[in-house]
Amino acid sequence: MARKRGRPLLISARVPENLEGCLFDGLDVETWTGEELMDLLAPGVRSFDVDLAAFRRITAGTHVKLYPSIDDHHTSDRYQIPPSEIYCAVAANWWLQGADSIQTFNFNPALNFPFSPAVGKIHLQAYREIGDPKTLRHKDKVFVVQRRGGGHGQTVIPNPKDWTTPRLMYFNTNMFAPLPARLANDGKADTLLIVIVADDLMADEKQVERITIRVLLSAPAANRLPATWRLPSVVVATIGHPNGRLENIPPEKSIEQQIELRLNNILLPRPTTSKGWLEFSENPKQFARRHNLVGLRIK
């Protein structure tokens, strides 16, 4: 067909965000790329955490290009049509890891977007910002730790609050995502999470006005306390949950005095609270570029 029309016909495959997920779904991507059966791989489906290093390893020496994919409909809880700061952070992380380009899925930058013209404006802004590392530099960003499940209806993907290993498929499940994560009530061990930050915050320290780590807790045991003793609840719009809403069970107001957060093993000052969230102030010099280790502990 390519010879007949006088120009290349490129073949692409949209696959899970890591090789383990591809194998879980019976997709032998390493053989595909080794035999150069395609031109483009679009790993990601719905996850922000694409293992580009692994895909780069199996495509080394081939013509196959990597286009990590961001989906704006089948998303993790909370991240459907997110603020532009999240798009910028995801794209910055992918460019840093060596993406050849970025694929978007379920985006519509037309200002007559059928659900809302405001959505079209958000997508159009994302296209203006995420397509080049240069346009992302010094932009506000929100780097997130991913949440598994949700976003596709619980008959297809398990509910993260009642998690079971998905059997129908890996893709769209975010099965390896670490949230929700339990905190040990005996205070003996930190709950450890990785936050990937593309920006070189130490080098750009003078351009950084403020850095905040935000933590949202849900405490089922606090349900027995009067509402006046607890932080306000946080309600987010999502898909795959009743009424399209997801709400945490807020902890007691004194929780900010009981919880510790360490960034790369550096103990941060006690947090403040804002609209149900715990907020820890940060110093740019405490962040590494790429992987940062966050430890949370109830004292």
Take residue 27 and report the two structure tokens written for it: 């997709």
Query: Residue 112's pLDDT is what?
Result: 57
| Max CA pair span of the chain | 73
Residue 111 in 3-state DSSP?
coil
Give ∠ CA 285-140-297 in degrees, rounded to 5: 50
- Contact of 167 with 148, CB cutoff 8 Å: no
How far apart CA 55 and CA 110 sit, in angstroms, is 32
The two three-digit tokens of residue 288, written as one number: 């590494």
pLDDT at 152: 67
Note the pLDDT of residue 245: 81
CA distance 152 to 174: 11
Q: Within the chain, which residues score under 70 in pLDDT?
A: 110-115, 151-155, 240, 242
- pLDDT digits 0-9 by tens, 43-81: 998 889 999 999 999 999 999 999 999 988 888 888 888
H helical segments located in the chain: 2-5, 19-24, 29-34, 52-59, 84-96, 117-130, 133-136
Q: What is the pLDDT of residue 73?
A: 81
Whether 278 and 181 have beta carbons less than 8 Å apart is answered as: no
What is the model's pLDDT at position 110?
63
pLDDT at 182: 94
Q: How many CA atoms lie within 13 A of 61 on its CB side?
A: 5
The per-residue pLDDT for range 269-295, each reduced to its tens digit, is 999 999 999 999 988 889 999 999 999
Strand partners, 43: 15
Cα(167)–Cα(263) distance, rounded to whole angstroms? 35
pLDDT computed for residue 158 by the predictor: 84
Tokens 């395609």 identify what position? Answer: 38
Q: What pLDDT sits at residue 100?
A: 96
Q: Are 16 and 45 in contact (CB under 8 A)?
A: yes
3-class state of residue 266 by DSSP: strand
C-alpha torsion sign, points 222, 226, 229, 233: positive
Beta bridge partners of 70: 104
